[in-house]
Chains A and B, each alone.
Chain A
Amino acid sequence: MRSARQYRQEILAALQKDLKEELDFIDDMASEHPKSYQIWHHRQIIIERLNDPSKEISFIDKMLALDSKNYHAWSYRQWVVSTYNLWDDEIPDIDRLIVEDIRNNSAWNQRFFVMSRRPQGFGEDDIVKEVSYILQKIRLAPNNESPWNYLRGILEFAGKPFDEFPQIEDVCRSFEAKAMIVPHALNFLLELNAQQVQAGQGERVAECEKISKQLEEHDPVRKLYWRHRLEQVKAFRN
C-alpha cells in the first residue's frame, strides 16, 4: 500500500495525469478505507498541486457522515480550513454536526480550533456568545463531557475567571435544585471556588470541601483525584 502510493504520486507527476480524475479515485478509496491515513495524505498532495480546495469541505462532510469522529478526516479538515482560509463557513457546519450529535467531541475540538485561530481574533462579543451557546448545549445533555471541557478551555483562552459570567454558576446550581447529580457541574463549581481561594477569598475553602465531598460520594472511582484537588486548594489558602 505504502510503496504503491508513492509510486502513484510519481506516475501522476510524470504523466501529468488529470489530477481531478485522481480525486474521484480517492473518493472511492476513502469510502472503502476511511481510516487509512495514507489516503488523506495522498489527497492533500493532490490538492496542493491543483491549488483548488473547492470540493474539499463537501468531500470531508461526506466522510464525516460515515463516521463523525474520523480522526484523519478532522485533521485533514483543519489543514484545508487553515491553508485555504475557509474559516467563515466553518462555524455553521460545526453547529450542524453538534446538533446531529451533541456528544461529538471532535466537533467541539474543531469549534475551539476555529475560535482560537481564525484571523479576526476572539473578542468580548465572542466569549459572551460562546458562553450562551455552551450553556444551551449543557442544559440539553448535562452529563456530556465535551461542552464542559470546552467551556473551561474557552474561558481560559479569553482570559476570563470562572466567576465572570454568573449565568454559568446558575446553570451549575440548577441541577441541584432538580435533585440531579451532575459531576461535571460540581467539578466546574469546585474549580470556580478554587480560583476564588487562589485570588485571596480564603473563606471559599469551606465550599470546596462541601463540593469535593459530594464528588467523592457520587464519583467514587476518582475519589483520590477529588481529595488531591481539595488538598491543593487548601494549600492555596496557606
Chain B
Amino acid sequence: MSAESTFLKELHVKFIKQLDDNKDELEYWTGEHLRLSGVYWALTALDLMHSLEAFQKEEVLEFVLSCLNDDGGFGGFTGYDSHLLYTLSGVQILATYNALDRFDKEKIVEFVSCLQDRTSGAFRGDKWGEVDTRFSYCALSCLSLLGRLDAVDVPLAVNFIDRCKNFDGGYGNVPGSESHAGQIFCCVGALSITKSLHLVDADQLGWWLAERQLKNGGLNGRPEKLEDVCYSWWVLSSLAMLDRIHWISKDHLRKFILSAQDEETGGIADRAGDYPDVFHTVFGVAGLSLLGDETLKKVDPRYCMPVYVTNRLGLGS
C-alpha cells in the first residue's frame, strides 16, 4: 500500500529518533533557539504513537533543567533568555514525564504571572516584548498544567481575548487583527481552559473554520492561503473544542495528511513533496488522532498533549 492510505508509524518513530541521535549535525531539528519546543513536539508525537520510550527520559529532563533560568522561566536552549513560548514547552515536557514535582513550580508560576498586563489582561512573551493572544494561551495553558490559574487575573485575561474577536467570528493576535487559524487555536484553547467558551460564536466560527478545507482535503489558515498540515491541528482542534469536527470531511483531511508523509525518511511535511520536519510531524499525528485514528493515543485538543496526561493532572474536560 502507498503512503496515501497507510500511516507509516515505524518510519515516523525512526525519523524522530534519528533527529535526536544526530544532535551534532548542523541543521539539528529546527534550530537551536527553539530546541526546547522541538523536544516537546518530538516527545508528544512519540507518545501519541505509543513510543515514548524512544527517548531517554533522564537525558531529556537534564536538558529541560538546563533551559530553566533563575527567573523561573525556560529559554529555548541552555543559556538562552526565558520566554513564555519555551516555558510552556518545558512545562508540557515535565507534565508528560510526570516530573513537575522535581522543579520549583512556584518559581515558574511567578515568572508566568508577572507577564500579565494588569490593565488590559493581555500577556507579554517576555518582559520587554509585545502582547499577543499566543502568549495569553501559553500563560493560561501553562498555569492550568501547574494547577495555578489563580495566580493571574483570569477574568481580565479572558476579556482581552474576547476583545480580539472579529466580525467573521475568528480571532487575531491583538484587537482588530485579522483572523488566523493559529491565533484562533490559541484563543479558543485559552477560553476552553478557562471555561469561557460561551463567549465564542461557535456556529459562525465553526463555519469559518470549516471553510478552511480545500478541494484537496487540506486546511489553510486564512482565506486564499495555501493548505498546510500544521493547520490540520490549529483548525481541527478548534473545531473539536467547539464540538463541530464533523462539519468538515474527515476522510479527505486524513488522506491529505497521509499524502504529506515522507515514504523514505519518515516524518510529515507541510504538504506532499516537501521535506518533513518535527513540527509538521507532531501536528499531523495529533490531527490524525483527533480524526479518530485508533492506533494512536487520544490527544487533548486544548493542550496538544495526550489525554491520559491531562487526565492525570485532573484537567479532564
Chain A interface residues toward B at CB < 8 A: 1-3, 6, 9, 37-38, 41, 44, 69, 71, 74-75, 78, 82, 103-106, 109-110, 112-113, 116-117, 144-146, 149-150, 152-154, 156-157, 220-222, 224-225, 228-229, 232
Contact = CB atoms under 8 A, between A and B. Distances in A.
Interface in B144-187: 166-168, 172-174, 176-180
B83 A109 contact: no
A102 B212 CA distance: 18
B166 to A, nearest CB: 7
Given A2-B126, A112-B167, A149-B168, A222 B210 contact: yes
A207 B56 CA distance: 62
Contacts of A82: 176
B254 to A, nearest CB: 13
Given A75-B173, A103-B224, A222-B249, 19 more contacts: A1-B33, A2-B81, A2-B126, A9-B128, A41-B130, A71-B177, A71-B180, A75-B174, A104-B224, A105-B224, A106-B178, A109-B177, A110-B178, A112-B166, A146-B224, A222-B213, A222-B248, A224-B246, A225-B206
Contacts of B180: 71
Nearest to A79: B174
A116 B165 CA distance: 13
Contacts of B33: 1
Nearest to A106: B178
Interface of B: 33, 80-81, 83, 126, 128-130, 132, 166-168, 172-174, 176-180, 203, 206-208, 210-211, 213, 222-225, 244, 246-249, 252
Interface of B is mostly: loop
A172 B172 CA distance: 30
Given A2-B126, A44-B130, A78-B176, A103 B167 contact: no
Given A2-B126, A41-B130, A224-B246, A105 B207 contact: no
A213 B186 CA distance: 34
Contact of B247 (A41, A104, A228): A228
Given A117-B176, A222-B247, A6 B213 contact: no
Interface of A is mostly: helix
Nearest to A81: B176
Given A71-B180, A225-B206, A154 B167 contact: yes
Nearest to B83: A2
Nearest to A38: B129
B92 to A, nearest CB: 21
Pairs of residues from A and B, 9 with the lowest C-beta to C-beta distance, nearest first: A153-B167, A221-B249, A109-B178, A103-B224, A225-B247, A145-B223, A105-B223, A41-B130, A149-B168
B178 A105 contact: yes
A228 B168 CA distance: 19
A150 to B, nearest CB: 8
Contacts of A3: 80-81
Taking each of B129, B178, B211, B247, which has the highest tally of chain A beta carbons within 10 Å of its own beta carbon?
B178
Taking each of A9, A78, A157, A232, which has the highest tally of chain B beta carbons within 10 Å of its own beta carbon?
A78
A35 to B, nearest CB: 13
A6 B128 contact: yes
Nearest to A226: B247
A16 B47 CA distance: 52
